[in-house]
């Protein structure tokens, strides 16, 4: 059986501005080798997308945005539409990252509208789910994750859902240095697939890429990538320095 593609995604958050993104690209692009079976995508700030696109050219590095408007176009000051992201060179977009949920009150209903907008424009959305520390401690992780999947992914066609990537990112592991045990990530990937199989078809659930995110580093990434059902990682901190992002890619090879 052919090995599944490994996805190494990097979330720059609000941590790399224009100069820092330029410097990152100048370091990474010359040494980036096309790797069979590895998909590298980074998610810079909105203001860096156009310059990143110009710098990347034909290099094997995809670009995504960190958020998208649920609206197609119109008087929505501050929003950025999916078609604008396409125009800026994005192929991917993060939806409902836990920092959007936490600091901007985004919920699963809004996530669904953003997923719809992204899919309608041909973007590949990365839908972020994951339980809080309190929910984890109360033993509610499986129910929380299944609920986020159920509400966020409701009402699409199997073909549409087939274009979604789900990132399991337990809130307690993001930016804390406390990464989830790899077996926990594998269990969560299974919860996600079970829910998708119930909602759509088993085949859709099987094919759907599921990522783990939360304090991923070059030293622990291998343990996630070898878990059954984990197709890759969404890294924040470790993606923001060129050497560590290249370390993640190296591990994926």
Contact call for residue 66 and ligand PGA (CB under 6 A): no
Q: Closest distance between ligand PGA and the C-beta of residue 251, in Å?
A: 14
Binds ligand PGA (CB under 6 A): choice among 149, 221, 234, 252: 234
Q: Closest distance between ligand PGA and the C-beta of residue 214, in Å?
A: 5
Q: Closest distance between ligand PGA and the C-beta of residue 112, in Å?
A: 20
The residue number with the shortest CB distance to ligand PGA is: 236
Binds ligand PGA (CB under 6 A): choice among 214, 227, 244, 245: 214
Determine the size of the site formed for ligand PGA (CB under 6 A): 13
| Minimum CB distance to ligand PGA smaller for 66 or for 156 | 66
Distant-in-sequence, close-in-space partners of 35: CB < 8 Å, separation ≥ 6: 60, 249, 252, 253
What CA–CA distance (Å, rounded) separates 186 from 120? Answer: 30
Among positions 162-191, residues that touch ligand PGA (CB under 6 A) are 169, 174-175
| Minimum CB distance to ligand PGA smaller for 157 or for 176 | 176
Q: Find the part of the chain contacting ligand PGA (CB under 6 A) among 49-57, 72-80, 191-199, 207-215.
A: 207-215
Q: Find the part of the chain contacting ligand PGA (CB under 6 A) among 23-31, 33-41, 71-79, 228-236.
A: 228-236
Q: What angle do CA 53, 54, 59 make, to 5 degrees?
A: 70
CB distance 11 to 244 below 8 Å: no
Distance of CA 101 to the CA centre of its chain: 14
Radius of gyration of the chain (CA): 17
| Minimum CB distance to ligand PGA smaller for 69 or for 215 | 215
Helix ranges (DSSP H) in the chain:
18-28, 49-56, 82-87, 98-104, 108-120, 133-137, 141-152, 158-161, 182-199, 202-207, 221-225, 237-240, 242-252
C-alpha closest to that of 152 among 115, 120, 123: 115
- Pull the structure tokens for residue 22: 């330029």
Binds ligand PGA (CB under 6 A): choice among 85, 235, 246, 251: 235
Contact call for residue 93 and ligand PGA (CB under 6 A): no
What CA–CA distance (Å, rounded) separates 153 from 143? Answer: 15
Please list the active-site residues. 97, 169
Contact call for residue 131 and ligand PGA (CB under 6 A): no
DSSP string computed for 74-107: SS-TT---HHHHHHTT-SEEEES-HHHHHHH---
C-alpha closest to that of 64 among 76, 78, 46: 46
Write out the residues near ligand PGA by the rule CB under 6 A.
11, 169, 174-175, 213-216, 234-238
């Amino acid at each position: 059986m052919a090995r599944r593609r490994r996805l190494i995604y990097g979330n720059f958050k609000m941590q790399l501005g224009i100069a820092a993104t330029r410097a990152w690209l100048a370091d990474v692009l010359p040494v980036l080798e096309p790797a069979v079976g590895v998909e590298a995508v980074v998610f810079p700030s909105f203001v860096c997308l156009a310059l990143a696109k110009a710098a990347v050219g034909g290099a094997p590095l995809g670009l995504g945005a960190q958020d998208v408007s649920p609206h197609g176009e119109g008087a929505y000051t501050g929003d950025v539409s999916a078609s604008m992201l396409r125009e800026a060179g994005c192929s991917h977009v993060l939806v409902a990252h836990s920092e959007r949920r936490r600091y901007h009150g985004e919920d699963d209903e809004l996530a669904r509208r953003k997923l719809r907008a992204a899919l309608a424009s041909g973007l590949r959305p990365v839908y972020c789910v994951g339980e809080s520390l309190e929910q984890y401690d109360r033993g509610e992780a499986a129910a929380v994750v299944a609920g986020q999947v159920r509400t966020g992914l409701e009402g699409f066609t199997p073909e549409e859902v087939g274009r979604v990537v789900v990132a399991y990112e337990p809130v307690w592991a993001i930016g804390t240095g406390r990464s989830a045990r790899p077996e926990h990530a594998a269990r969560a990937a299974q919860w996600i697939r079970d829910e998708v199989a119930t909602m759509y078809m088993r085949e859709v659930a099987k094919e759907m890429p599921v990522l783990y995110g939360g304090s991923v580093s070059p030293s622990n990434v291998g343990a996630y990538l070898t878990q059954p059902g984990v197709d890759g990682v969404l890294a924040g901190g470790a993606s923001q320095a060129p050497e560590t992002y290249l370390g993640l890619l190296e591990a994926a090879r």
